[in-house]
Amino acid sequence: MNIQHNISLKNYNTFGIDVSARDFVAVSNTNELLQVLQQNKKDLFILGGGSNMLLTKNIEDALVVHIHLKGKTVIDENDDYVWIQASAGENWHEFILWCIDNGYGGLENMSLIPGNIGTAPIQNIGAYGKELKDNFIECEAVEITTGSTKTFNKKECEFGYRNSVFKNELKGQYIITAVTFKLTKKNHALNTGYGAIENELADKNITNPSIKEISNAVIAIRQSKLPDPKILGNSGSFFKNPVISQEYFKIFNNKFPEAPFYEVKPTQSNSKLEYKIPAGWLIEKTGFKGKQFGDAGVHKNQALVLVNYGNASGKEIWDLAMKIKTAVFEQFGIEINPEVNIY
Ligand code: EPU
């Protein structure tokens, strides 16, 4: 176990926040991970792709474990489907490109989402009408306290909108080491209904898109709206889109009939009809879109995304986020909450 000390985490988080880890170890296989779990006596801070976190202080009380597990294996296939297991440290987007090159469909709408395979299930990542859970079969995880391995099937993951059991009851208890997906080899279930994809394909005169063309359309849409973290530090959507009750929606919609909204259909666990309001719209109406405060700012094309123009500290980004939250609440009576994890 090769523990390094006083390592800058600037290149390990897509916000590009320069905090340091007093103790840092990268694990390249499950055995190394188990060794760390056995030998270490401190708390652990699990670092995957660093794409969904805001670091506001140096990490001094925990051992930072960078999950660097690599590999992808076809574990089963028939004429129609393929089951692929990908290791936690594989980059999400590169994995999708590899799937597309091999003719495997299902994940193309989620092209270019930053982050790694292992963190994708934690918040059930999604974009343009698809979510990770749609192709998810199971994931393997190691329990931090015991080092024992457990396989979680889809039901056990309790996936919801940007949510899973790993953000709730099991928060901080397991490290996901690999994820198995079921993908199509033919008759791909294309999902092009999302307005922006339809428009992008129409612009290119594509009527019968391949999975590659859908991926390219998504890449073009994302690049036009969302900043590339390699160029401008960010963590994708900083806030979740808030969900409000039907009663409050009536009041809101009366006052702001121009606001976009989506119905959230009742589910088994929640029998009430609710409404999701895009936080990007709410934030834009408060006037924060495109604003910059020092090196912390709100992206000019997508108000949901907070950005680091260079040397913003995590605290500066956080203070801006709280200013936005307050402004949205004062103007609309709606609470918005971060999607990213804050440390
Ligand atoms: N909107 C505005 N102003 C803005 C941004 C959005 O008015 O600055 C309005 C748009 O006009 C549209 C609505 O809000 O009517 C929704 O916007 P968009 O389709 O861009 O999606 P979003 O709700 O802002 C969500 C995800 C994104 C994902 C897109 C596309 C969340 C928190 N975010 O954003 O995910 O890419 O849908 O599916 O659910 C991420 O999680 O990091 C992420 C980027």
* Of 201, 179, 206, nearest in space to 106 by CA: 179
Is 260:278 a contact under the CB 8 Å cutoff? yes
Q: What are the CA-CA distances from residue 249 to residues 19, 114, 260, 279 (Å)?
A: 41, 32, 11, 14
Nearest alpha carbon to residue 285 among 331, 249, 341, 318: 331
Distance CA 338, CA 146 (A): 31
Q: Which amino acid is at 323?
A: K
Q: Could you tell me the distance, in angstroms and rounded to a whole number, from the CA of residue 25 to the centre of ligand 1?
A: 35
Ligand 1 atom 10, closest CA: 281
Q: Residue of the nearest CA to atom 5 in ligand 1?
A: 280
Q: Is the CB of 303 under 6 A from ligand 1?
A: yes
Give residue 267's pLDDT.
77
CA of 162 to the centre of ligand 1 (A): 13
Q: Whose CA is nearest to atom 13 of ligand 1?
A: 278
In the chain, list all ranges with CATH 3.30.465.10.
72-184
pLDDT at residue 42, rounded to an integer: 87
DSSP character at residue 299: -
pLDDT value of residue 1: 77
| Active-site residue list | 162, 237, 339
pLDDT of residue 56: 98
In whole angstroms, what is the distance from residue 341 CA to residue 318 CA?
11
How many angstroms is it from 19 CA to the middle of ligand 1?
Answer: 29
Residue 265: per-residue pLDDT: 86
pLDDT digits (tens, 9 = 90+) for 246-302: 999 999 999 999 999 999 988 777 789 999 999 999 999 999 999 999 999 999 999
The CATH T-level fold of domain 233-342 is 3.90.78
Is-above-0.75 flag for pTM?
A: yes
pLDDT of residue 229: 94
339 lines ligand 1 (CB under 6 A): yes
- Distance (Å, rounded) from C-alpha 126 to C-alpha 161? 8
**What b/e string do you get for 312-331 counting C-beta neighbours within 10 Å, with b at 16 or more?**
bbbebbbbbbeebbebbeee
**CATH 3.30.43.10 domain locations along the chain:** 4-67
CATH classification of 72-184 is 3.90.1720.10, yes or no? no
Q: Which CATH code of 3.30.43.10, 3.40.920.10, 3.40.50.11540, 3.40.228.10 fits the domain covering 4-67?
A: 3.30.43.10
User: Tokens at residue 235, please?
Assistant: 């963590």
CATH 3.90.78.10 domain residues, the chain: 233-342
